[in-house]
Chain A
Amino acid sequence: MFLEIKDLSVKIENKNILKSLNLNINKGEVHAIMGPNGSGKSTLANVLAGKEDYEILNGRINFKDNDLFDLNIEERAQEGMFLAFQYPVEIPGVNITPFLHSAVNSKRKRMNEEEIDNLSFAKLLKSKASDLGINIDMLKRSVNTGFSGGEKKRYEILQMSILNPDLAILDETDSGLDIDALKIVTDGVNKLKTKENSFLIITHYQKLLDYIKPDYVHVMVNGSIVKSGGSEIAAEIEKDGFQKFQ
């Protein structure tokens, strides 16, 4: 199994958020999670990425033959996990080029691959940026600082396409994107998609799933997955909301 989440229960500040959650993802699959506000979708994404504020009450997670809880945040990233944040963090004074370059190289180092030099990296970044319709001037600015909502989301996908992860978690990457940007961003995701990597896509809208075809759709309510199936579930939710799943 590529990613196996078994019986996961998580709490934060005395509040149980995830409750006996189970989810399996195989190599090459695209999974979507839909669910009402506050149901715990971002919590799941953060726990997978290794955010330290949560208390794991129960359960285990396997990722590429590792016990995920044995890996710290950066080791998970270096093993091929990527989280596109729902709310990307503004980091004034930090430029994307050196930061992402060093991130790419630490991943390569872990994989015993040769490091990429300054010049080749700058070229790579520029070409990926232009694929995603990101202005070169934006690469000179501080990470996410003063970016519009949509710009931040594109910038997440730019980082994803540079890091080329095995498992990409997209947390509401579609919200805030205008219709053209949605097309560009989903094209970017589809280009990256191979038989070897997997996607976990968190969204509120069926629209995104028209562009990125999921193999499975899961409904998350109150910290657990209450139903799983194919794209038809997304259509159901679009029509009737979450009422009948609660």
Chain B
Amino acid sequence: MNIQDKYLKNKKNIFFSENKDIQTHREKLINIFENDGFDKKNNESLKNINLKNFIDFEYRYLISEETSVVNNNQENSYSIVSVNGQCLNFKDDKIEITKILDEDYNDFSKNNTIENNDHFVNLNSLFLNSGFKIVIKKNNNIKIKISNIITDDDLTIFQKNNYICEEGSSLNLIEEYENKNNSTLNILNVIKLEKNSQLNHLLIQDNSLNHSLIITSHSSCKKDSTYTQKVYNFSEGYVRNFHYSELIEANSEADLQGIFFLKDNNTSNNKTFVKHLAEDCKSNQVYKGILNDSSKATYFSNTHVDQVAQKTEGYQLSKGILLSDNASYFSKPELKIYADDVKCSHGSTIGPIDENAIFYLRSRGMSKIAATKILISSFINEELNSIDNEQMSEIIQKKLIRYLSKVK
């Protein structure tokens, strides 16, 4: 069934299909799909993807019997269980959670200037069936942990979440994606940081083989705000991490980091993109991958510095360890600079584990496998040590040990 028929057939089940503006937007999207109207050649969202697999999906959405929970367990600390992309409304003097609204949809589709040729984001807009919006109110300092639960097999969840950190607020956000069913979650996080706000965002991805996760984020930072994102991908199934950031006012910062651990025939596609649109901003894009067996990964990183963005500091790094001759990691850093007073750099090192280091460690009596494991751990040591949440750090360590136990 083609995209248009799929859409028409499931319209009742898709958010905002009665809204005129949104209808118009979606007609445009359908047109793009049906008439091959998107730029295939230079489109990073299509690289190393079997597009057919993703277009030929069977649309299925269920509102689960299980209900979402919002718990305010300690002062300033909330835990949320989102079920099939939905979350109950909640409100107190610090945060407010509501269902996603058509105005949020329009806001995104009209103001998204950073990338509107992302195939999977377009699918997300077209088939949107879930999502919520969280507002952190002015000057509050909040912790939120979200477990993203999918209840059934064969679901296709298209979810849009909005996060708004109001002026002077600070949010520590931990998201867990640990699903074991044969479903696909396509989620877009739209994140807005107002003046002088901060968001520390940690994403743990550990899905089973048959579960696909396509996660995209669009963050924008106003004056003096900082967005930090750390992605840990231990999934055995397909994961796409595409994260876009816009620094729209002075002295703001975006830090996009990721580590992925791949084995067997798994694939992971990654991209980070930072657009500097104001002066005195900093960005950091660092992805590290460990690839075993026949696994494959791609990583595109991009820094775009607008001509007004003087005194930009931008850093891009991609590192990979290939544990097998059959593993492959393609990485492509890109820099576009239109301002003159700018400090930007990028680097990329991908290769097998350092044989000289292995020899050195073994020559002291350490077994080959122990030496290999110690070198893998050391490769991501810095990132692991930088996690300031003890509980999360333990969880990640455990997953790392699980991954290492399969390394031969």
Q: Are A49 and B363 in contact (CB under 8 A)?
A: yes
B319 CB, min distance to chain A CBs, angstroms: 11
Q: Does A190 contact B (CB under 8 A)?
A: no
Given A103-B365, A106-B366, are A88 and B378 also a contact pair (CB < 8 Å)? no
| Residues of chain A with a CB closer than 8 A to B374's CB | 94, 98-99
Q: Does B75 contact A (CB under 8 A)?
A: no
**Distance A99 CA – B366 CA, assembled complex (angstroms):** 8
| Residues of chain B with a CB closer than 8 A to A98's CB | 374
- Kindly identify which residue among A82, A92, A99, A107 contacts B361, using a CB–CB cutoff of 8 Å: A99
| Residues of chain A with a CB closer than 8 A to B366's CB | 74, 99, 102-103, 106
**Distance A45 CA – B130 CA, assembled complex (angstroms):** 65
A194 CB, min distance to chain B CBs, angstroms: 20
A64 CB, min distance to chain B CBs, angstroms: 15
What are 7 A-to-B residue pairs whose CB atoms are below 8 Å? A49-B359, A74-B368, A83-B363, A93-B377, A93-B378, A93-B381, A106-B365
**Distance A186 CA – B381 CA, assembled complex (angstroms):** 35
Q: Does A18 contact B (CB under 8 A)?
A: no
Q: Which of B349-404 contact A (CB under 8 A)?
A: 354, 356-357, 359-368, 370, 374-375, 377-379, 381-382
13 more A-B contacts (CB under 8 A) besides A50-B362, A74-B367? A50-B363, A73-B362, A76-B363, A88-B360, A89-B356, A91-B361, A91-B375, A93-B378, A94-B361, A99-B364, A103-B366, A104-B365, A143-B360
- Kindly identify which residue among A52, A92, A100, A103 contacts B378, using a CB–CB cutoff of 8 Å: A92
| Residues of chain B with a CB closer than 8 A to A107's CB | 365
| CB closest residue in chain A, given B360 | A89
Q: Which of A98-119 contact B (CB under 8 A)?
A: 98-100, 102-104, 106-107
Q: Which of A50, A73, A76, A77 has the largest count of B CB atoms less than 10 A from its CB?
A: A73
| CB closest residue in chain B, given A169 | B363
| Contact residues of B: prevailing secondary structure | helix
**Distance A88 CA – B356 CA, assembled complex (angstroms):** 9
**Distance A212 CA – B368 CA, assembled complex (angstroms):** 34
| Residues of chain A with a CB closer than 8 A to B377's CB | 93
Q: Are A94 and B378 in contact (CB under 8 A)?
A: yes
- Kindly identify which residue among A72, A92, A93, A100 contacts B364, using a CB–CB cutoff of 8 Å: A100
Question: Interface residues, chain A, CB within 8 Å of chain B?
Answer: 49-52, 72-74, 76-78, 82-83, 85, 88-89, 91-94, 98-100, 102-104, 106-107, 142-143, 159, 163
| Residues of chain A with a CB closer than 8 A to B362's CB | 50, 72-74, 77
A29 CB, min distance to chain B CBs, angstroms: 22
Q: Which of B207-241 contact A (CB under 8 A)?
A: none
A167 CB, min distance to chain B CBs, angstroms: 13
B408 CB, min distance to chain A CBs, angstroms: 15
**Distance A141 CA – B41 CA, assembled complex (angstroms):** 47
Q: Which of A50, A72, A93, A163 has the largest count of B CB atoms less than 10 A from its CB?
A: A93
**Distance A103 CA – B333 CA, assembled complex (angstroms):** 39
Given A91-B375, A94-B374, are A106 and B363 also a contact pair (CB < 8 Å)? no
Number of interface residues of B (CB under 8 A): 21
| CB closest residue in chain A, given B359 | A51
**Distance A130 CA – B5 CA, assembled complex (angstroms):** 77
Q: Which of B356, B363, B367 has the largest count of A CB atoms less than 10 A from its CB?
A: B363
A77 CB, min distance to chain B CBs, angstroms: 4
| Residues of chain A with a CB closer than 8 A to B357's CB | 89, 91, 94
**Distance A106 CA – B379 CA, assembled complex (angstroms):** 23
Q: Which of B186-224 contact A (CB under 8 A)?
A: none
| Residues of chain A with a CB closer than 8 A to B382's CB | 93
Q: Are B379 and A93 in contact (CB under 8 A)?
A: yes
Q: Are B365 and A78 in contact (CB under 8 A)?
A: yes
| Residues of chain B with a CB closer than 8 A to A51's CB | 359
Contact with A along B248-283 (1 / 0, CB 8 A): 000000000000000000000000000000000000
**Distance A235 CA – B367 CA, assembled complex (angstroms):** 42
Q: Are B378 and A142 in contact (CB under 8 A)?
A: yes
Q: Are B365 and A94 in contact (CB under 8 A)?
A: no
| Residues of chain B with a CB closer than 8 A to A89's CB | 354, 356-357, 359-360
**Distance A103 CA – B362 CA, assembled complex (angstroms):** 8
Q: Are B363 and A91 in contact (CB under 8 A)?
A: no
Q: Which of A74, A82, A98, A163 has the largest count of B CB atoms less than 10 A from its CB?
A: A74
| CB closest residue in chain B, given A87 | B356
Q: Are A106 and B367 in contact (CB under 8 A)?
A: yes
| Residues of chain B with a CB closer than 8 A to A93's CB | 377-379, 381-382
| Residues of chain A with a CB closer than 8 A to B379's CB | 93
| CB closest residue in chain A, given B371 | A74
| Residues of chain B with a CB closer than 8 A to A142's CB | 378
| Residues of chain A with a CB closer than 8 A to B370's CB | 102, 106
Given A73-B359, A91-B357, are A163 and B378 also a contact pair (CB < 8 Å)? no
**Distance A106 CA – B360 CA, assembled complex (angstroms):** 15
B287 CB, min distance to chain A CBs, angstroms: 17
What are the 10 A-B residue pairs with the smallest beta carbon separation, nearest first? Answer: A93-B378, A77-B365, A93-B381, A73-B362, A103-B364, A103-B365, A89-B360, A94-B378, A74-B362, A107-B365
Q: Are B381 and A74 in contact (CB under 8 A)?
A: no
**Distance A233 CA – B386 CA, assembled complex (angstroms):** 56
| Residues of chain A with a CB closer than 8 A to B367's CB | 74, 106
Q: Are B365 and A74 in contact (CB under 8 A)?
A: yes
B47 CB, min distance to chain A CBs, angstroms: 31
| Residues of chain A with a CB closer than 8 A to B381's CB | 92-93
**Distance A52 CA – B382 CA, assembled complex (angstroms):** 31
B364 CB, min distance to chain A CBs, angstroms: 4
**Distance A196 CA – B374 CA, assembled complex (angstroms):** 33
| Residues of chain A with a CB closer than 8 A to B364's CB | 77, 82, 99-100, 103, 159, 163
Q: Which of B356, B361, B377, B379 has the largest count of A CB atoms less than 10 A from its CB?
A: B361
| Residues of chain B with a CB closer than 8 A to A72's CB | 362, 368
Q: Are B363 and A77 in contact (CB under 8 A)?
A: yes
**Distance A74 CA – B372 CA, assembled complex (angstroms):** 13
